[in-house]
Amino acid sequence: MELHTDLADTQQKQKQHFHVLAVDDSLIERKLLERLLTESSCKVTCVDSGDKALEYLSLLDSQEIEYSTDLSSSPPSAQQEAGYMKVNLIMTDYSMPGMSGYDLLKRVKMQGSSWKDIPVVVMSSENVPSRINMCMEEGAEEFLLKPLQLSDLKKLQPHLLKSLVHPTEDISTSNDHGSDNNMIHDIALNDSDNLVSERKVMSPEPLERRPKINGLLVV
């Protein structure tokens, strides 16, 4: 099966981790979320408001245009770079001053938005059914209650997979030691417990392999 033969391949392509844009006005929440996400092998960019989130998305768009103009002639690494920056998931707090998470969700999902297909997950410390429904109806993929746990991030696997440009390409494995919570691990290991131990034996990866590019855009 693909998994075993592609192991070396995927390790090389480690750069292609899921890129999550985390939006929360609380510094503590951002720090926590960043840690949870990096533990799940995602690249994380944190911003402290909906406005900054939109700014960042626009910035990426303009960078992507630059890359794509000579994408065909550029080396694979540059192409990977462009893909690497792309946001695969937005996680936003619901209650924020100014633009709320709900407002951000609406903006991202609106008709004609170039970010319409980016999955959005809304988080809140309050369990308010009407709020949850509102968000789901507006196109949120998931509504998570805070405080978040590693297990919650597992729920996000399918949404991240959906956003992969090339579904047949690597399910990148950063194969963290000791991380049963490595969500990317889990994608491949849904069906067989045997695979778990096999993988761990095959790749006693050192920490350094995991790309440590966490953008923490703090104001």
Partner 1 sequence: MELGQMQGRLAEFTKSLYMEGILDAQFLQLQQLQDESNPDFVVEVVSLFFEDSEKLLNDIARALDQQSVDFKRVDAHVHQLKGSSASVGAQRVKNACVAFRNCCEEQNVEGCLRCLQQVKQEHYLVKNKLETLFRLEQQIVAAGGSVPMAEMTF
To partner 1, the closest distance from the beta carbon of 35 in angstroms equals 5
Q: How many residues does the chain have?
A: 219
Nearest to 150 by CA among 183, 101, 114: 183
| Residue reference for tokens 């709020």 | 131
To partner 1, the closest distance from the beta carbon of 125 in angstroms equals 5
Q: Does 214 bind partner 1 (CB under 8 A)?
A: no
Which stretch in 1-9, 12-20, 26-34, 186-194 sits in contact with partner 1 by CB under 8 A? Answer: 26-34
Residue 73's Cβ-count burial label (10 Å; 0-12, 13-18, 19+) is exposed
Q: Does 152 bind partner 1 (CB under 8 A)?
A: no
To partner 1, the closest distance from the beta carbon of 111 in angstroms equals 33
**Identity at 162, one-letter amino acid code:** K
Q: Considering beta carbons, is residue 150 or 213 the nearer one to partner 1?
A: 150
Among 28, 165, 201, 219, binds partner 1 (CB under 8 A): 28
Which stretch in 20-28, 47-55, 98-106, 197-205 sits in contact with partner 1 by CB under 8 A? Answer: 20-28
Residues forming a β-bridge with 144: 123
User: 4-18: string of b/e by CB count within 10 Å (b at 16+)?
Assistant: eebbeebbebbebbb
Task: Using CA atoms of 39, 42, 45, 51 in order, give the dihedral in degrees to the nearest 10.
Answer: -110
Q: Does 207 bind partner 1 (CB under 8 A)?
A: yes
Q: Residues in the site for partner 1, rule: CB under 8 A?
A: 26-29, 31-32, 35-36, 39, 95, 125, 146-147, 149-150, 178, 207
